[in-house]
Amino acid sequence: MAGGRRVTQQDIARMTGVSQATVSLVLNERDDAAVRIAPETRERVLQAIRRTGYVADPIARRLAARHNRFLGVFTYEPVFPAGQGDFYHPFLVGIEECAERIGCDLLLFTSAPVVDGRRRIFHRDNRLRLADGCILLGQWLDPQELARLLAEGEPFVSVGRRDDAGGPVPYVGADYPAATAAQVRRAYELGHRTIGYLGEGAGPESHADRMLGFTTAVAETRIKGVHVTGTPGALDELMAHGCTCVLVEEFADGVALAEEARTRALRVPEDLSLIALGDPTRPASTDLDITGFRIPRREMGWQAVEVLTAVIEGTGGPVQRLLPCEPVAGATLAVPHA
């Protein structure tokens, strides 16, 4: 302390007879391209720093490195309401853990206005540039906003595969095609020859990717695949086609289908096997241990920070990653009832 106040770079500069810019260069262990620091000058500055116990202002050091070390998180859907909090929580845990590991702070952007029922990144008072880069989280991301982020060179990464922005989008996603195809093959090996798919199978990449895995495995095994959208009347349509196993795009739809089957005295899995293609995105209470797979949500959050850091620093390497899903044995897939 100097006179009861914190020692500054100006104090060090006055003590050593150099400029504040020179002190800054020494602190950041750099030489300016136009000004080389003599070894004896560098040592004199370092001695003054050690003698006074000077501690560099962390914000000043970050600015000197041209990065604030703030990472933004933008969510297209609310992540804290009880209905979706459980789904998004592992993503946020992974993001927080990795940010802490690399010494970055997080900014959660919450001021974005809702337009046509969805949040928008770009608006009059957007604060995107407060952060060095941004992680985008949501089941649906606006392709036009992704395209604008790419065009303006804003560092960002999407949690979830995206391919509709007119250019390569940095992302960390789940390998839904491989995980879904593996479940179809598993059902085939147990003897199922007519398998249904309940869900949209289109729209968001996560849905399209699941459908791709389903159709690929159906073609490989040469079984009958039946696609049904929507839950009202879905069970009737599936049973009319002779389905003995159903893959459900949304966990909650699988729960609803199982409940309807019970009301008709159909046993799960003896009369109808069920496979859930991921974790619940909306509340779904059930006592069934449903077979399927888990999305690597925590790891996706962690690796999203890794990819964003690489994009910001320009260190190269792959900026599009697909992570394997974890199979869940469950108790709703069995040999079809004769």
Q: Which two tokens stand for residue 256?
A: 């609803």
Q: How confident is the model at residue 298 (pLDDT cuts 50, 70, 90)?
A: very high
CATH class of 70-174+297-325: alpha beta
The pLDDT value recorded for residue 5 is 61
- Which residues of the chain does CATH 1.10.260.40 include? 9-64
What average pLDDT does this structure show over 187-208?
95
pLDDT band of 197, cuts 50, 70, 90: very high
- Residue-level pLDDT at 268: 95
Q: Looking at the predicted structure, is the pLDDT value of residue 223 above 70? A: yes
| Both structure tokens of 99 | 């940010």
- pLDDT exceeds 70 at position 60: no
Check whether 338 has a pLDDT greater than 70. no
pLDDT of residue 135: 96
- Which pair of tokens denotes residue 216? 């690929």
Please check the confidence at residue 85 and state whether its pLDDT lies above 60. Answer: no
Residue with token string 């003995």: 244
Q: pLDDT digit string (tens) for 255-295? A: 999 999 999 999 999 999 999 999 988 888 889 999 999 99
Cα distances from 120 to residues 143, 157, 270, in angstroms, run: 11, 16, 47
| pLDDT tier, 82 (very low <50, low <70, confident <90, very high otherwise) | low
Residue 248: which of 266, 265, 272, 221 has the closest Cα? 272
pLDDT at residue number 35: 58
User: DSSP H helical segments within the chain, as ranges?
Assistant: 9-16, 20-27, 39-52, 58-64, 82-102, 143-151, 176-189, 205-221, 234-240, 251-263, 297-313
> Is 58 a residue whose pLDDT tops 80?
no
Show the tokens assigned to 247. Answer: 């893959």
**Count of C-beta atoms within a 10 Å radius of residue 139:** 16
Q: 274 pairs with which residues across the strands?
A: 246
| Stretch 288-315: mean pLDDT | 94
Architecture, CATH, for domain 176-295: 3-Layer(aba) Sandwich (3.40)
Q: Which fold has domain 9-64?
A: 434 Repressor (Amino-terminal Domain) (1.10.260)
CATH 3.40.50.2300 in the chain: give the residue spans: 70-174+297-325, 176-295
DSSP state of 248: E
For the chain, the average pLDDT equals: 86
